[in-house]
């Protein structure tokens, strides 16, 4: 790769203190007091030109700048992502450039994740001025927490193009988090600003991770390739400390070692020639990689290409009732899990996991937190009640062989008996999927005195049963 001769004009030199000293507000005043303001309304390019003008004539701005923005804009045209996420938004230069390109390429949503709320407000203001509020959404907060939240609430399901431009040590951990949450997968493209070593020191842990072979990733899973702060000088380590406090590295994400990366195929040629340039002696360079899919797991870990790790940090199932949260892991969302299935249930104080039975397997439970009371109906008329607290386990009998039994033997319900604390437990089944049949509605529609007499429960309990189908009752 040779040096590029780029015709754009350079920004003001970078000072010792080059951000968060009031210049971001000065930029807003500059733009809203600009004689060409009216031209900027609804025009991303005019807003970008004004930001560049400020950078050239007033003060340095740490945005991606014209050269690299053009490179990634071309990538967007070629790859046609639907959903993009950027980590680190600053004053919105990249959000405006890429949000506009994404809209032109038929994409649907651009998320700009920014930790500093003042910068987040500047991004929103300029995105709005550029007429991009419909496609660019600004999320204020640390990148890892925002990624987890967007994933948990079901807003973000897949990232087609991930632009990493925030705190360098978090590049690796956030990519790992995205892999683990399955936000990235085959076909996802990663563009990491200033990662290669030519921008000294670049981002050695990120490069090592994203360029590693599957065998290297497997060998170092959880250990060696963790984003090591030692690779960075104090200037990087504490870059954002004074205002936002020390950055915290995401510790829980270990990535998916089976995912391979390669250069994006469509644009490999383009990027050989344009992803690197030296302008006024400063390197402008982007590390580009694409997820090439999962490599087959080793024989003893299974013979197919499915990942052998998953996470419960996905969005809860949409179950009726407002009593808590219900997450499952089985072959429907973790294909390798062919003979074992689990649910992870959180029940609010006073909540009830409604009366149900499992048609396909015995149920084994572990109570992780809180206090529970479970009642199990073991025959037509016999019922037993047990109290549980954190650390207890239980097993509810199998109903196999009785699928057509009109009085299934392992009907049970679980109450949270605490008034203040959530109840959290895990249910495990020897089955490929989680299946349960709710009985509350059926009972609620049966004469209460008959139900109370048959099940030996108080009649006021029966009268409280909801006639609508519920799973986690508040
Ligand atoms: C280099 S600037 C981003 C420039 C921007 N992408 C552009 O080209 O216009 C880095 C930004 O990342 C933000 N940042 C740093 N750590 C972060 C984190 N953990 N999560 C989200 N944003 C972070 C900083 O506040 C700063 O605004």
Gyration radius from the chain CA atoms? 27
pLDDT tens-digit series, residues 164-206 = 999 999 999 999 999 989 999 988 999 999 887 667 778 888 8
Q: What is the pLDDT of residue 145?
A: 95
Tokens 């954002």 locate to: 240
* CB burial readout 8-21, b (16+ within 10 A) else e: eebbeeeeeeebbe
Looking at the CA of residue 64, tell me the nearest atom of ligand 1.
Answer: 8
| 67 in contact with ligand 1, CB cutoff 6 A | no
Report the distance separating Cα 407 and Cα 223, nearest Å.
52
Q: Ligand 1 centroid to 321 CA: how many Å? A: 40
Q: Ligand 1 centroid to 246 CA: how many Å? A: 14
Report the distance separating Cα 13 and Cα 114, nearest Å.
24
| 88 in contact with ligand 1, CB cutoff 6 A | yes
Q: What is the pLDDT of residue 231?
A: 80
Q: Ligand 1 centroid to 447 CA: how many Å? A: 62
Looking at the CA of residue 239, tell me the nearest atom of ligand 1.
Answer: 15
* 10-residue stretch averages of pLDDT, the chain, 474 residues long: 53 92 98 98 98 96 89 90 98 98 97 97 98 98 96 94 95 93 91 79 86 80 59 83 77 80 52 56 77 60 51 71 82 80 89 73 87 78 82 74 47 86 90 73 75 80 72 64
Report the distance separating Cα 382 and Cα 385, nearest Å.
10
Q: Ligand 1 centroid to 143 CA: how many Å? A: 9
Report the distance separating Cα 201 and Cα 120, nearest Å.
28
| 98 in contact with ligand 1, CB cutoff 6 A | no
Report the distance separating Cα 316 and Cα 328, nearest Å.
8
Q: What is the pLDDT of residue 1?
A: 38
Give yes or no for a contact between 343 and 472, defined as CB atoms under 8 angstroms apart: no
| 113 in contact with ligand 1, CB cutoff 6 A | yes
pLDDT tens-digit series, residues 383-442 = 778 899 998 998 876 653 334 444 555 677 888 999 999 999 998 888 887 776 666 766
Nearest CA to ligand 1 atom 19: 142
| 116 in contact with ligand 1, CB cutoff 6 A | yes
Looking at the CA of residue 92, tell me the nearest atom of ligand 1.
Answer: 9
Q: How does DSSP assign 220-251, residue by residue?
A: TTTTTTS--GGGS-HHHHTTTHHHH-------
Tell me the domains of the chain and their CATH numbers. 23-294 (3.40.50.150), 324-473 (2.60.120.10)
Q: Ligand 1 centroid to 224 CA: how many Å? A: 26
Nearest CA to ligand 1 atom 7: 63
Maximum distance among all alpha carbons in the chain? 88
Find how far residue 331's CA is from the centre of its chain: 21
Q: What is the pLDDT of residue 383?
A: 74
Which of 54, 87, 90 for a ligand 1 pocket mutation test, highest count of atoms within 8 Å of Cβ? 90
Nearest CA to ligand 1 atom 6: 89
Residue 222: burial class (beta carbons within 10 Å; 0-12, 13-18, 19+): exposed
Report the distance separating Cα 284 and Cα 382, nearest Å.
74
Phi, psi for 71 (deg, rounded to 5): -60, -50
The helix (run of H) or strand (run of E) holding residue 353 is: strand 352-357
- Please name the residue ranges forming H helices in 261-386: 268-274
Give the chain's mean pLDDT: 82
Which of 89, 112, 173, 227 for a ligand 1 pocket mutation test, highest count of atoms within 8 Å of Cβ? 89
Looking at the CA of residue 166, tell me the nearest atom of ligand 1.
Answer: 12
Nearest to residue 165, comparing CAs of 210, 203, 118?
A: 203
Nearest CA to ligand 1 atom 11: 88
Distances (CA, A) of 36 to 41, 120, 188: 10, 24, 38
Q: What is the pLDDT of residue 79?
A: 87
Nearest CA to ligand 1 atom 16: 167
| 119 in contact with ligand 1, CB cutoff 6 A | yes
Give yes or no for a contact between 386 and 394, defined as CB atoms under 8 angstroms apart: yes
């Amino acid at each position: 790769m040779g040096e590029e001769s780029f015709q754009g004009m350079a920004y003001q030199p970078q000072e010792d203190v080059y951000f968060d000293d009031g210049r971001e507000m000065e930029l807003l005043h500059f733009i809203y007091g600009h004689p060409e303001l009216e031209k900027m309304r609804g025009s991303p390019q005019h807003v970008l030109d004004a930001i560049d003008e400020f950078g050239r004539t007033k003060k340095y701005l740490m945005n991606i700048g014209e050269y690299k923005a053009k490179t990634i804009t071309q990538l967007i045209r070629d790859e046609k992502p639907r959903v993009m996420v950027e980590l680190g938004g600053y004053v919105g230069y990249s959000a405006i450039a890429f949000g506009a390109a994404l809209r032109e390429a038929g994409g649907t949503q651009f998320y700009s994740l920014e930790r500093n709320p003042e910068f987040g407000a500047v991004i929103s203001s300029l995105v709005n001025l550029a007429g991009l509020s419909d496609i660019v959404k600004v999320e204020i907060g640390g990148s890892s927490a925002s990624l987890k939240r967007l994933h948990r609430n079901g807003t973000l399901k897949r990232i087609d193009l991930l632009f990493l431009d925030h705190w360098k040590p978090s590049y690796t951990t956030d990519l790992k988090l995205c892999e683990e949450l399955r936000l990235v997968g085959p076909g996802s493209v990663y563009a990491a600003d200033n990662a290669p070593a030519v921008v000294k020191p670049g981002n050695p842990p990120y490069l090592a991770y994203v360029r590693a072979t599957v065998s290297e990733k497997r060998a170092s899973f959880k250990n060696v390739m963790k984003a090591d702060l030692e690779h960075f000088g104090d200037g990087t380590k504490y870059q954002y400390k004074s205002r936002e406090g020390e950055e915290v590295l995401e510790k829980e994400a270990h990535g998916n070692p089976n995912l391979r990366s390669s250069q994006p195929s469509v644009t490999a040629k383009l990027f050989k020639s344009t992803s690197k340039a030296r302008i006024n002696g400063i390197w402008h360079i982007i590390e580009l990689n694409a997820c090439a899919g999962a490599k087959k797991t080793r024989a003893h870990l299974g013979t197919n290409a499915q990942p052998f790790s998953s996470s419960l940090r996905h969005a809860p199932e949409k179950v009726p009732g407002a009593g808590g949260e219900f997450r499952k892991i089985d072959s429907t969302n973790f294909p390798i899990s062919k003979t074992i299935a689990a649910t992870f249930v959180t029940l609010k104080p006073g909540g009830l996991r409604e009366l149900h039975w499992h048609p396909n397997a015995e149920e084994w439970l572990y109570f992780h937190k809180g206090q529970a009371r479970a009642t199990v109906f073991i025959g037509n008329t016999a019922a037993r009640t047990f109290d549980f607290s954190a650390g207890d386990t239980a097993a509810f009998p199998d109903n196999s062989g009785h699928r057509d039994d009109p009085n299934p033997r392992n009907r049970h319900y679980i109450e949270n008996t605490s008034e203040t604390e959530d109840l959290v437990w895990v249910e495990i089944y020897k089955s490929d999927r989680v299946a349960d049949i709710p009985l509350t509605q059926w009972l609620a529609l049966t004469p209460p005195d008959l139900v109370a007499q048959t099940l030996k429960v108080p009649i006021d309990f029966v009268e409280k049963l909801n006639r609508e189908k519920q799973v986690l009752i508040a």
